[in-house]
Structure 1
Amino acid sequence: MVGLLGLAHSNACEAELALALEDSLDARQLPDLAALEVRFDVADQQVPGIDAVLPTAAAYDRLLTGGTVQ
Structure 2
Amino acid sequence: MKNNIKKLRKQLGYRQEDLANTLGVTRQTINAIENEKYNPTLELAMKLARLLNTTIEELFTLDS
- TM (norm. structure 1) is 0.33
Q: Which structure ranks higher in relative contact order (CA pairs < 8 Å, sequence separation ≥ 6)?
A: 2
- TM (norm. structure 2) is 0.35
Q: Which has the higher strand share?
A: 2
Bigger radius of gyration among the two: 1
